Amino acid sequence: MNIYSVKDAEALGEQAAAIVLDEVKRKPNLLLCAATGNSPLPLYQRLEKVVKNSDTLFQKARVIPLDEWIGLSSSEGSCDSYLQKWLLKPLKIYEENYFAFNPLAENMEAECSRIHEVLKKQGPIDLCALGLGKNGHLGFNEPSTTLNAHCHVANLTAASQQHAMISNAKKVPITGLTLGMQDILNSKRILLLISGKGKEAAKEQLFSKQINTQCPASLLWQHDHVDCMVVD
């Protein structure tokens, strides 16, 4: 894992965007796995500025979300609405190149199987952009004695249920859909973006290099190509 300290969110966005741009120039139809939340936001904002000068740069790019809240509408802070606003529309990603979860599916196990098949057909992920949860989670891969390898329904911890993204939700989601740890680790390259308050314990666990399923992010030490950027 390559770890870089950056002075602020803007610097994080610039450095992370440089990596994304290198990858998309090398492979125009790359498959990008995109996280939501405050940590990757500077990256997406920086990419939007770049695309204004080259609106065909991401013309062939494909995007798959990292996760989604189950039962949440677009107006209540879904991951889909976030990505539509900050990534898909600004980068002019074609609808057919976006492989969204269906958080209102009648059969969630079938939905997980569908996403698994999408990854088998479209993947592996070329670049996976992640944020670090306060409890060390990646997506909705929550701390546990065992971690799921592939797309699954996750029971959300109290920390995840208090996420700022769903502060306007009429009913707080208690479950979510997420790609599994093996899906993430199968990515050719991983970008881990860390910013925000309240993550000291998670960072300490991660940077101890001790791999433990109670800190899912620590499993990234098993990957050969991770770039981690941390706001001082």
225 part of the active site: no
| pLDDT value of residue 165 | 65
| pLDDT value of residue 158 | 72
| pLDDT value of residue 84 | 96
Number of domains comprising the chain: 1
| pLDDT value of residue 52 | 87
Q: Is the CB of residue 65 less than 8 Å from the CB of residue 83? A: yes
Q: pLDDT tens digits, residue range 109-135?
A: 999 999 999 999 999 999 999 999 999
Q: Is the CB of residue 183 less than 8 Å from the CB of residue 139? A: no
Residue ranges of the chain whose pLDDT lies below 70:
73-76, 159, 161-170
| pLDDT value of residue 160 | 73
- What span, in angstroms and rounded, lies between the C-alpha atoms of 138 and 67? 9
Q: Write out the two tokens for 164.
A: 């700022």
Q: Domain holding 32: CATH number?
A: 3.40.50.1360
150 part of the active site: no
The dihedrals phi and psi of 212, each to the nearest 5 degrees, come to: -150, 130
Catalytic residue among 135, 141, 152, 183: 135
The strand pairing partners of 176, in sequence order, are 69, 154
| pLDDT value of residue 209 | 96
116 part of the active site: no
Catalytic residue among 23, 80, 126, 142: 142
- 47, 58, 82, 178 from 16: Cα distances, Å: 9, 16, 19, 23
Strand order, beta sheet including 175-178: 67-69, 175-178, 152-155
Residues spanned by the domain of 225: 2-231
| pLDDT value of residue 162 | 66
Catalytic residue among 137, 141, 148, 152: 137
| pLDDT value of residue 202 | 95
Q: pLDDT tens digits, residue range 3-14?
A: 999 999 999 999
137 part of the active site: yes
The upper half-sphere exposure of residue 59, i.e. CA atoms within 13 Å in the direction of its Cβ, equals 5
pTM score of the predicted model = 0.93
Q: How many residues does the chain have?
A: 232
| pLDDT value of residue 161 | 66
Q: Write out the two tokens for 183.
A: 């899906």
Cα 156 off chain centre by: 16
| pLDDT value of residue 48 | 96
| pLDDT value of residue 232 | 84
Q: Is the CB of residue 125 less than 8 Å from the CB of residue 64? A: yes
DSSP state of 156: P
